[in-house]
Amino acid sequence: MSGINTGGEDQVLMVQDGNVATVTLNRPEKLNALNKNMWVRVGEVFRALNDDEGVRCVVLRGAGDRALGPGADISEFRNERNNSRQAAKYGRLMHAAMHAVRDCRHPVVARIRGLCIGGALELALMCDLRIAGESSRFGVPINKLGLVMAYPEIDALVTLVGPSVALEILYEARVFDAEEAKAKGLLNKVVPDDEVDSEVAKTVGQICAGAPLVNQWHKKFIYRTIGGSPLSAEDETEGFDCFDTNDFKEGVRAFLAKDKPNFRGT
């Protein structure tokens, strides 16, 4: 088990156990409310994980069981986000972090207990899968602050739930429960609170049991497809590159031998 130095006050932690990296928003005294330092660190951590050949899956979670996060640290607004110029600069940090999560080549699973509001939900939207406890709460009540959700978050939200439901979430600015979040398309799974960690572990285990290069390709292809731009001949050909991998040979061997494959990511 290893970790990387995230600096600051250790408000974003990363621990790697075998092929699985767990990234924790670690500000429990504030329910993991996101501040400037945390946005910077999330970007740094996920960019480092993207380059780590030993990783097969990443879990994003909040410290404790009360929240992934309640959103932004509003106390920063007076000094850090007090006008459009400051907000644009701050927004670039936020969006760099969000893109680092979305663009991480490894599968990313959000583990959600408690509050998942505002910026925390926006981060969760950037993950590939979201698993939540049944008492979790969701929402983006930013119109009550006079704030707008910017394009990168809007894109992720609309991709998941469609324009009408996205507008409902933003117009009504309600905080709603996990079952409604799943019905709206925000979540993959809702389980009893005390089963969240075991369900996340089960899902991560299933991901890690697959060929890691294939998982990376599938992630790349899906996000490339929903991007909307036409596929090039090179893009389409990449779908057959798996046939040149050792993992393909190992998968076929194991299938024919009725054996468990030992994928190495090569």
Domain assignment of residue 262, yes or no = no
Domain assignment of residue 228, yes or no = yes
- For 123-148, the pLDDT digits (tens) are 999 999 999 999 999 999 999 999 99
Residues 173, 232, single domain; the answer is: no
Residues 184, 248, single domain; the answer is: no
Mean pLDDT for the chain? 94
Residues 78, 155, single domain; the answer is: yes
Residues 180, 244, single domain; the answer is: no
Domain assignment of residue 265, yes or no = no
Q: Are 116 and 67 in contact (CB under 8 A)?
A: yes
Neighbours of 262 (CB within 10 A): 10
Domain assignment of residue 263, yes or no = no
Q: Are 63 and 10 in contact (CB under 8 A)?
A: no
Range 24-46 average pLDDT: 97
Evaluate if residue 18 carries a pLDDT over 90. yes
The CATH number of the domain where 101 resides is what? 3.90.226.10
Residues 174, 226, single domain; the answer is: no
Residues 102, 234, single domain; the answer is: no
- For 77-100, the pLDDT digits (tens) are 888 888 999 999 999 999 999 999
The domain tally of the chain equals: 2
Residues 153, 222, single domain; the answer is: no
Residues 155, 61, single domain; the answer is: yes
Q: Which two tokens stand for residue 6?
A: 């995230």
**Rounded to two decimals, what is the model's pTM?**
0.93
Alpha-carbon distance 247 to 38, whole Å?
37
Domain extent for 228? 211-256
Residues 191, 122, single domain; the answer is: yes
Per-residue pLDDT, 5:
41
Report the percentage of the chain scoring pLDDT > 90: 88
3-state secondary structure of 10: coil
